[in-house]
Amino acid sequence: MNTIHGNKVIPLLYAGVLVLCLAACHKDLPEGNAQEAEQDTSTCTFTVSYMKKVYFAPGNLATHGRTFVLNSWDYGGYFAWGTGNKPENNSLDNRDYASFYDWGDYLNYAESGWRTLGFAEWDYVLVHRKDAELKRGTGTVNGIHGLILLPDRWKNPAGIVFSPGCISWNDNILSWAQWEQMQKSGAVFLPASDYEWATNPPHPGMSGLYWTATPKGDKEAYYVCFYEGRVYTSVVNQRCYRQSVRLVRDVK
């Protein structure tokens, strides 16, 4: 079972569209000063600390751990903590995950600089950035449950209304065509892909669990999770649990 400290708790999108969106969202931007930390220079940026912004990858890390999934609503792979150097590692011994190897350092991808957010960064983007609670909401994209995150500067595409909050998967029901418009405007979708452990298969659609780069002691690590009704950031799991990974790149 997952441990929450203090609580117990299709159609394919054309590859060309993703490439265009990725290119649009990954333009290098001028650096800002401290007073401009909450000001936005791109519709695709997310503030993750007082002085840092990032771009999210277009989708979860794929099953083999070396590229991203084709569609942002695809669940992708499940990985033990810090297994960028050996994503197929499924040992149940937490001692086999003593060191963190970032998946972003081992990608077969043209762009470098991909990395995993730390606990404090995930906490900032989900809870502490300006209007954070208004920039996240549960929903269903192309029939898949998940969490929608809006960038720092957001304007709803014509004909689409976003409902913030995490009450129901039915809060934001979007077709793949509607989501394409949302994604082009900078929105990010985290599928509720659940987790794997030992012989227990995942139960997609019930919850989303995403690793951070931050260890907890020598056997556990922090992750973020969401359910229909709640988002948690200060939670830990054994490192041998296999969960989803979503990478980012820093805005230069």
Residue with tokens 């989708």: 59
**How far is 190 from 91, CA to CA, in rounded Å?**
26
Cβ neighbour number for residue 74 with a 10 Å cutoff: 21
Q: To 10 degrees, the CA torsion angle through 150, 151, 157, 159?
A: 20
Give CB contacts under 8 A, 24+ apart, made by 229-233: 229/138, 229/166, 229/167, 229/168, 230/9, 230/166, 231/126, 231/136, 231/147, 231/166, 232/4, 232/7, 232/9, 233/119, 233/122, 233/123, 233/126, 233/127
Residues 6+ apart with CB under 8 A from 180: 13, 17
**How far apart (Å, rounded) are the C-alpha atoms in residues 71 and 107?**
17
- Give me the amino acid identity at 147: L
pLDDT at 59: 97
For the chain, give every domain's residue range.
Answer: 15-250
Q: Other C-beta atoms within 10 Å of 111: how many?
A: 13
Distance from chain centroid for Cα 139: 15
pLDDT of residue 42: 52
Task: Give dist(CA 197, CA 187) in Å, integer.
Answer: 30
pLDDT of residue 111: 80
| 217 conformational bin, left if phi > 0, alpha if psi -120 to 50, beta if neither | left
| 212 token code pair | 């951070």
In order along its 252 residues, the chain shows pLDDT tens digits of: 444 433 333 333 333 333 334 444 443 333 333 333 333 335 799 999 989 999 999 999 999 999 999 999 999 999 999 999 999 999 999 999 999 999 999 999 878 899 999 999 999 999 999 999 999 999 999 999 999 999 999 999 999 999 999 999 999 999 999 999 999 999 999 999 999 999 899 999 999 999 999 999 999 999 999 999 899 998 999 999 999 999 999 998
Q: How far from chain centre, in Å, is Cα 45?
A: 13
What pLDDT is recorded for position 1? Answer: 44
Any idea what DSSP says for residue 71? S
DSSP 4: B
Residues in the chain: 252
The residue type of 193 is: S
- Strand (E) or helix (H) holding 42: none
